């Protein structure tokens, strides 16, 4: 796996070059569904904590549109595509993180398939905020504005066949039958993965699995 010491050491070298006079720095962790963004982000948080830095992780998934809204837009089957997120709300949060103190952010509960408001507290004294999500470098209207706020962007590069294996394991875990899981992967997850691979802006660091 890519969450090894060498990768984190490389990231740390980049972080040390960032301006020292900034209140706190934003690190984006980008990748396809199943690329391991959450695991990587939490391991990076632990690594930086050992270096005596205060950090927090925020997931873009907290800005999923509610299923009722997706149903009204005929987008429920495409949940997870970039059209199914509140990009304006997410961009507003990112802007606030640059200049405000204690901030509350939403969290997505996968078991309940719902976003929970004000579930993560971003305290004033943090050194780094790690933000993980599929579309943090997406070159689409409004989404492309996010890149200017990243002090360091990291793309997790995983082979598409490996992604399919991980996603199958994920959806089986959440109670889907194998046929249901394969249909979901083919009709949604892989389409979203291709969108990320083909239409993302260049990251500062690319880490291959």
Q: Is the pLDDT of residue 103 over 80?
A: yes
Q: Is the pLDDT of residue 100 over 90?
A: no
Alpha-helix residue ranges (DSSP H) falling in 76-117: 87-99
Average pLDDT over residues 71-75: 97
- All structural domains of the chain: 5-208 (3.40.50.300)
Average pLDDT over residues 174-184: 94
pLDDT in tens, 189-204: 999 999 999 999 999 9
pLDDT at 190 (0 to 100)? 95
Q: How confident is the model at residue 3 (pLDDT cuts 50, 70, 90)?
A: low
pLDDT in tens, 7-46: 999 999 999 999 888 878 999 999 999 999 999 999 999 9
| Rounded Cα gap, residues 159 and 151, in angstroms | 26
| Rounded Cα gap, residues 54 and 45, in angstroms | 8
Cα Rg of the chain (Å, integer): 17
Q: How confident is the model at residue 101 (pLDDT cuts 50, 70, 90)?
A: confident
pLDDT at 2 (0 to 100)? 52
Contact 162, 170 (CB under 8 A): no
């Amino acid at each position: 796996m890519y969450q090894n010491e060498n990768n984190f050491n490389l990231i740390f070298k980049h972080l040390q070059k960032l301006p020292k006079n900034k209140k706190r720095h934003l690190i984006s962790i980008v990748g396809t569904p199943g690329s391991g963004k959450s695991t990587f982000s939490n391991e990076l948080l632990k690594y930086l904590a050992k270096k005596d830095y205060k950090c927090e992780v925020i997931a873009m998934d907290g800005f999923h549109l509610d299923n009722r809204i997706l149903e009204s837009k005929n987008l429920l089957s495409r949940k997870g595509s970039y059209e199914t997120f509140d990009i304006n709300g997410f961009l507003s949060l990112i802007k606030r993180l640059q200049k405000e103190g204690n901030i509350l952010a939403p969290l997505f509960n996968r078991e309940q398939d719902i976003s929970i408001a004000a579930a993560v507290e971003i305290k004033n004294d943090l050194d780094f905020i790690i933000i993980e999500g599929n579309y943090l470098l997406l070159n689409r209207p409004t989404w492309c504005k996010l890149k200017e706020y990243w002090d360091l962007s990291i793309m997790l590069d995983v082979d598409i066949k490996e992604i399919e294996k991980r996603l199958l394991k994920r959806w089986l875990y959440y109670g889907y039958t194998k046929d249901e899981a394969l249909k979901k992967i083919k009709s949604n997850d892989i389409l979203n993965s291709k969108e990320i691979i083909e239409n993302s802006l260049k990251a500062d660091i690319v880490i291959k699995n």
